[in-house]
Amino acid sequence: METVSENACFGGTQGVYTHKSKACDCDMTFGLFLPEEAKWGAVPVLWYLSGLTCTHENAMTKAGAQQWAAEQGIALVFPDTSPRGEGVANDDAFDLGQGAGFYVNATQDPWAPHFRMWDYVTEELPVLIASNFAIDSARQAITGHSMGGHGALTIAMNIPDRFASVSAFSPIVNPTQSSWGRKQFGAYLGSDESQWSKHDATLLMNEKGFDGPILCDTGTSDQFLDLLMPESFAKACATRRQQSILRMQPGYDHSYFFVSSFMEEHIAFHAEALYAG
Ligand SMILES: N[C@@H](CCC(=O)N[C@@H](CS)C(=O)NCC(=O)O)C(=O)O
């Protein structure tokens, strides 16, 4: 692992690191914010998965999360959204290929050799950060935006007991029924739709739910609302009687102006779950 940068930030440190990823078979870069408390002992961690077109950098510089994470003594991880580099497959569209990994393990060519973002964020990166930084793996929570909200919800439901809480900003919640999902799952996972269902938050809510609190915020003026389908997830949560707070925020769009407006509340929500008991 190599250090790209480390900057003092709200009493802690905002770092950027690169490493050779086994899962993605290429160099990967991630951001990690450590609060001041990490100097004295292992701290809880909140994963932030980003959306389409993002690198590790967008949320790190625009979500305004460090201030609230510092206040709560929580670390933040900002993984990249896909493998990258010259030898890595790509597509001209912004919503496929590099910057659009959708947090799945691709099984289809030309994506299969590198696009293993599921393994990267659920296995490789957790081990890497826990062995190199003062992170308490027993206290983890996860959030994300758009494609990253999809990643956060599907990972939290598929790996029971790892995350104390899950939240999302404008998440894609029913990708098997949306053009943000069908296109990418077809490309990465192939035409057998039975392989898609473990990556659909609404189907996972119908099937198993989440053993903990869920918080989702979506803007009523989100330009991608029809692709996100918050109503499908709300219906599934109500049917399961899942503990959840699902809000439509009037006038907000899909941008980081929206994400940053509600970041304090999301971090306080996770802090309550991470410090409970
Ligand atoms: N570039 C796309 C929009 C993609 C988009 O809005 N991406 C969101 C996540 S789904 C984002 O966070 N973009 C990067 C940013 O705002 O910094 C378009 O032109 O339609």
Query: 57: CA distance to ligand 1 center in Å?
Result: 13
| CA 206 – CA 217 distance, rounded (Å) | 20
CB 81 less than 6 A from any atom of ligand 1: no
For the segment 128-165, what is each residue's pLDDT rounded down to a tens digit?
999 999 999 999 999 999 999 999 999 999 999 999 99
CB 181 less than 6 A from any atom of ligand 1: no
For the segment 20-30, what is each residue's pLDDT rounded down to a tens digit?
999 999 999 99
For the segment 42-84, what is each residue's pLDDT rounded down to a tens digit?
999 999 999 999 999 999 999 999 999 999 999 999 999 999 9
Q: Where are the domains of the chain?
A: 2-274
CB 257 less than 6 A from any atom of ligand 1: no
CB 147 less than 6 A from any atom of ligand 1: yes
Query: What class has domain 2-274?
Result: alpha beta
Grouping H, G, I as helix, E, B as strand and the rest as coil, residue 173 is coil
Half-sphere exposure of residue 101, counting CA atoms within 13 Å on the CB side?
Answer: 30
pLDDT recorded at residue 27: 98
Query: 161: CA distance to ligand 1 center in Å?
Result: 31
pLDDT at residue 277 is higher than 90: no
CB 58 less than 6 A from any atom of ligand 1: yes
Instruction: Give the mutation target among 227, 254, 257, 258 for probing the ligand 1 site: most ligand atoms within 8 A of CB.
Output: 254
Report, as residue numbers or ranges, the catalytic residues. Answer: 146, 222, 254
pLDDT recorded at residue 1: 96
pLDDT recorded at residue 227: 98
For ligand 1, atom 20, which residue shows the shortest CA distance?
Answer: 94
For ligand 1, atom 14, which residue shows the shortest CA distance?
Answer: 54
pLDDT recorded at residue 248: 98
| CA 204 – CA 186 distance, rounded (Å) | 19
Taking the CA of residue 54 as reference, the ligand 1 atom at the shortest distance is 14
CB 170 less than 6 A from any atom of ligand 1: no
Q: Percentage of the chain with pLDDT > 70?
A: 100
Kindly provide the ipTM of the predicted complex, given to two decimals.
Answer: 0.91
CB 54 less than 6 A from any atom of ligand 1: yes
Q: What is the dihedral of CA 215, 156, 93, 105, to 10 degrees?
A: 180
| CA 157 – CA 160 distance, rounded (Å) | 6
The phi, psi pair for 157, rounded to 5°, reads: -75, -30
For the segment 84-127, what is each residue's pLDDT rounded down to a tens digit?
999 999 999 999 999 999 999 999 999 999 999 999 999 999 99
Q: Is 116:251 a contact under the CB 8 Å cutoff?
A: no
Single pTM value for the model? 0.98
Query: 2: CA distance to ligand 1 center in Å?
Result: 28
